[in-house]
Each structure stands twice: as C-alpha cells, then as structure tokens.
Chain A
Amino acid sequence: MKNLVFDVNVVLDLWLERQPEARLLQIAALIDCQRTGTALGWIASPSLHVLEYLAYRQFKHEGADPAEAKQTVKQLLAKLQQQLRPLSAFGFQQDNALLAQTDLEDAQLVAAASVLQGPTAIVTNDKRFATAGSNLVQLKPAEVADWLGQSKPSENLNFVDLQTQQDAIRPQLEQHLHRVLEHGQYILGPEVGELEQRLAAYTGARHCISVSSGTEALLISLMALGIGPGDEVITTPFTFVATAEVIVLLGAKPVFVDIEPDTCNIDATLIEAKLSDQTKAIMPVSLYGQPADMDAINVIAARHGHLPVIEDAAQSFGATYKGSQSGNLSTLGCTSFFPSKPLGCYGDGGAIFTSDDQLAQACREIRVHGQSARYVHSRIGVGGRMDSLQAAIVLAKLERFEHEIVQRQAVARRYHQLIADQAPQVQRLPWPKQGRTSIFAQYSLLTRQRDPLQAKLKAQGIPTAVHYPVPLNAQPAYQHLCCPGCTPVASRIAEQVMSLPMHPDLSEADQHRIVNALGEKQHRGVASPSTLERP
C-alpha cells in the first residue's frame, strides 16, 4: 500500500477552511485514506506542534477566547491522530546534515518519511521539500488520486514482502520495541509473557511456551517427551530438515512415511505399517500451511499406546482443522516465527503449544537449561528462550494477523483461478481439503519443466522457490535411514514442486504478471490438471 505524508499547509487548509468547498472535500477525503483503505496516511511528529501554533494563532487573532481556541485545537489534533498515523522523528536522524538544512521542519519531515518502505508521497501545496536522494515524491492534493491509481510495475517482485507489512505496523512496532528498550528486560520480559498469553488464547491451547526458534520448539518438545537413543519417531521426509534433525540430535531415529500427493502432508494411512515397539511419537508436518490429517493421526496414536503427536506447525500457524487452530490439534504443536513465516519476527523465534500441564512445565524448564528453580537444574535443558525484542515484534504483527490470513487466502484463491484459466499446463495442488483452511505459507504447484520455468520467471523478475528439492531420506545425512524408493510420492513431488511469490500484500496486477509468465506458450508443463480443485 502507498503512503501519504501530509504537509502542515494542507492540513491547515482543511482546518481553517482556506480553500473552496470542492478542494476542502478533496483534502478531507485524502485525510480519510486510511479508513477507506486507499493508502496509509501519516502526519510527521515535527508537524504537530506547528499545526498547534498556527491554528491557535489564527483563532486568537480572530478574537476567539484563548482557552476555547486552545481547546478547539486540541480537539482538531486528537481527530487528526485518529485519521493519520504519527510518523516518528528519531533522535539519530537529527544529525548535522539535517540541522544544516535551510528549513529544519521540512528536513525533519523528509527524514521521517524516508523510513517508510513502500511508495511514499508528501502531500503538499508547493513541492518545496528537498527530496533528492530519496524515493519520495511530492504531490499536490489534486494529483494524489492519479498517483494512487497508478500501478508502476516493479522490475523485480518480492517472494515475500515484509516491507509493506512493516509500513502497516510501524506505529505498533515502534511502540513495542521502545517499550523493551525502556524496561530493559531483554530476556523473558513482559512481552514474552503477553505473547504467550495471547497465542495460547488464539490457539485455544492451555499453554504457550515461546522459544528461540521453530527448530528449538521441536527439540524441546521431543526432550519433554523423553525421546532418546533407540527411540523411533514417525515423520515425513518431505519437510524442512529441522523436523528430522532434532530427532537424530537426541539419538533417536526418524522413520519416514510417504506423503499424500494432494496435500503433500504425511499419509496417515501408511503410518501404522511403520509403527514398532520403539515408536515413541508421531511428528506430522502441516506443510505449505494446510494441517495434516490430524484426526486420523491422533486416532492411530491413541490406538497404539497413546503415542504423543507433535504437529510441526511451522508453516501452518493461523490455519484450522475442523474449526480448531493448527498448533492445538495434538499433544504438542510447534511453530516458527522465522521472518518469512505467516506470523514471523525479525530474527529467530518459535513457540510450543500444549494443554498438558506436565509437558508444559517440562518445556518451560528445558528452554532454560532444565532449570526448575534458580540454579536448580532438574533435567537436561538448552538455552532456548525467545528474547523480548522478538516477542515485541510478533505482538505488533499479531494485530494485523487476522487481516493477513484473509488476504493470503484471497491471494491463493486468485492464483488458483488464474492458473486454471491461463496456465493449465502447470498443475495446481488441490485446494485445501474440506474442513481445513490453509494459511498458504506457500503457494506451490507442480511442473515437470521446473528448471527452465524457474529460469524464465527469474528473467522476468519473478522469484520462485522449491520447497523442497530433495526428500530427507535422499539427503546424504539421512539416506541410510530409509531408501528414497520407499517414499515414491515424496520423490516425485520433490522433482516437480515449485512455489510462487506469496504474501498478503501481493497485488492482483502482480499475480496476473506472474501467471501470464507461467502460461507463456514456449513452455510445456506437466500432467493433466488435478480434478480435486475446490476453489
């Protein structure tokens, strides 16, 4: 979304009614841009006192009672803060170069606006700002509508767009991050507790234990279950390596079960054949954002001595399975806050969910070196705490998360339709199964011509990714555990799968560009389109 930063002169025109009625209506509609969803509207904080002085002076010079004039100005400022977001002027920006500018107020506005990531315009009547060297544009109010309507195609698309998201949550980000800087509790500070409380409430799990990464969430969960040497853990070979890595790290053995061709998640119907006396847990992965068939998996686990089930929900936090939230579908659920995840931080972070009090306590102790009381180490643990700054970032993102879920699903639905219409030679993965929603951490499809297709898209500035090119049982470090031929579906999907740019702010125009590139004739794709779609 584009940003509009309003100059004092324009706001004063509205407040002091210094323009013809039609112009006032135009400015008023622009200032309402945030509510109407047309742009993110900002007022630079150095502009606020200027507005206050000028409006107050005007009213006072017209003979208004000073107290009433002051009160009116306060109300106007309060209304403005509801309409526009405050744009910070940071201390570090007030350097010598800025102080040397002819007009400090204007220079401060430009410096403040320059931190915004998306296309940004200063809305001004005289375009006097020194914006050389920045990406800022200057527009008169009458020019804004055209600029907002322009969709300038960027040369290179982002696979994941964290910049637009950052503009959208900047006020909350600054507030949460500065709160940590103020209280100084960088480890297990109040943000960590607040985040755990809010995420537990979100999932419906009784406990949320934040940890230092998604990998650590898996490791700590297995440790809490007492998984160790000689044990076996049933899992999928078609996942990020962390899923199996943590099993091996504890001396246990990952037992790979092939995947479903439609969801790319572990095939529950194949699990029982792989169970043994050594099986101590089942670890399905809810890949690409769609939960695995957790009911079926839980039933198998219950039938075989109540085996614990750990859902690796690193890609699926925010998705649902029969009305319940991913992460709270089994004994334990683990998620990741890696920056590119649907709910990410700006570093590493993760969380464990469980409604088992004893497991929750074990997880809490293990993440702090097995400490049950200060310097009392009741069990072997790790240094696995999530830091307060990362928790602060997730808290800020959480405020937009529901909106982003809806947007991700809308983007995925549009991909699904566009590809069916314009690129039938590539095979879509079927729409999420009945009773499940996907958060669409990835939008993935299948093609037998992956390498040339990726090269063609790259040449047009369209990034793609492969999740994942090699099943874990074909990886050098794991191939002794299970023959690649034992999981033929995973092997086939790994050869063909390809992910397209996916994020909640992906525009319809960019999606058309991507699918047009996909559908260009010189490329021949694969297999017949799936018949399982339910867009």
Chain B
Amino acid sequence: MQIDAIYDQGRLEFQRPLTLKHQRLRVRVEIPDQEIIEDVTPDQGSDADGERVLSEIRAILGPLSRARAPASCADDKAALSDALAEKYNL
C-alpha cells in the first residue's frame, strides 16, 4: 500500500493512523529530487575533518582542554603502572 508521510529530521510520520505487525520493516520512500543534497566525495582525511573531530574532543574536554607536554610510549607505560597501582592500592 502507499501512504503519505512527512519526513522530519530523520523520522517519517504517517499522515493517517496505521497499525503495523512489526516494529521494524523495509519501506520504499519517494523523495523529491530537489530535496537531495549531493554526497560529498570521500577524501583522504582533510584538515576540515581533523578540525571537526578535534573540536568535538575539545567540547567533551571542556575546562580540561589544554596543551600538554609530549609523552612517549614508555612514559605512558609507566603512567599505566602508576594508575593501576593507585587503583589497586599497591
């Protein structure tokens, strides 16, 4: 059957009541061509991607965001030993 629906930010809302047998099912949706934004071609990890990811990390960090001194892998291994020692009161 065909039914009219409104698409609103990722959700489809049917325009009349309908009881479905399953919670999840495949439907075919017709979207007007003028509503579609062409996909951006995947790139090799651009600066814009990096900036977006970095800003997301910084948003999570909030006041904890700050430049810190470099640390080697050996430094991290030592810090892990300390962290585990703290955790297990060694």
List A residues at the B interface (Cβ < 8 Å): 7-9, 12-19, 24-33, 35-38, 50, 53-54, 56-59, 62, 64, 69, 72, 75-76, 79, 83, 103, 105, 124-126, 128, 145, 148-149, 197-198, 201-202
Contact = CB atoms under 8 A, between A and B. Distances in A.
Given A54-B76, A57-B83, A124-B73, A62 B64 contact: yes
Interface in B32-90: 42-47, 49-54, 56-58, 60-62, 64-74, 76-77, 79-80, 82-84, 86-87
B73 to A, nearest CB: 5
A28 B64 contact: no
Given A36-B45, A126-B73, A54 B50 contact: no
A72 B64 CA distance: 9
B50 to A, nearest CB: 4
Given A9-B72, A28-B54, A72-B62, 6 more contacts: A18-B69, A19-B70, A28-B49, A38-B42, A145-B45, A149-B44
Contacts of A145: 44-45
State the 9 A-B residue pairs at the shortest beta-carbon distance, nearest first: A37-B42, A29-B50, A25-B50, A29-B45, A28-B53, A201-B26, A53-B83, A28-B50, A57-B83
Contacts of A76: 57, 60-61
B16 interface: no
Interface residues of B, number: 41
Contacts of B6: none
B65 A17 contact: yes
A301 B76 CA distance: 73
A8 B51 contact: no
Contacts of B66: 17
A53 B64 contact: no
Given A32-B50, A36-B42, A197-B22, A54 B60 contact: no
A125 B42 CA distance: 26
B44 A12 contact: no
Given A69-B64, A72-B64, A29 B47 contact: yes
B18 interface: no
Contacts of B80: 50, 53-54, 105
B51 A14 contact: no
A51 B76 CA distance: 10
A57 B86 contact: yes
A26 B65 CA distance: 18
B3 interface: no
Given A8-B76, A64-B64, A148-B44, A29 B83 contact: no
Contacts of A18: 68-71
A148 B44 CA distance: 9
B52 to A, nearest CB: 7
Contacts of B52: 28, 32
B31 interface: no
Contacts of B46: 29, 36
Contacts of B43: 36, 38
Task: Identify whether the interface residues of A are mostly helix, strand, loop, or mixed.
Answer: helix
Contacts of B61: 15, 72, 76
Given A69-B64, A145-B44, A9 B76 contact: yes
B79 A25 contact: no
Residue among B50, B62, B72, B87 with max Cβ neighbours from chain A (10 Å): B50
Contacts of B25: 201
Contacts of A148: 44
12 contacts: A12-B71, A13-B70, A25-B50, A28-B50, A28-B54, A29-B45, A36-B44, A54-B76, A54-B79, A57-B86, A72-B64, A124-B73
Contact of B54 (A8, A25, A128): A25
A361 to B, nearest CB: 18
Given A29-B45, A54-B79, A57-B86, A14 B57 contact: yes
Nearest to A39: B45
Nearest to A71: B60
B22 to A, nearest CB: 7
Nearest to B82: A57
Nearest to B54: A28
Contacts of A37: 42
A401 to B, nearest CB: 12
A79 B57 contact: yes
A17 B73 contact: no
Residue among B44, B45, B52, B64 with max Cβ neighbours from chain A (10 Å): B45
Contacts of A69: 64
Nearest to A20: B67
Contacts of A50: 80
Contacts of B72: 9, 125-126
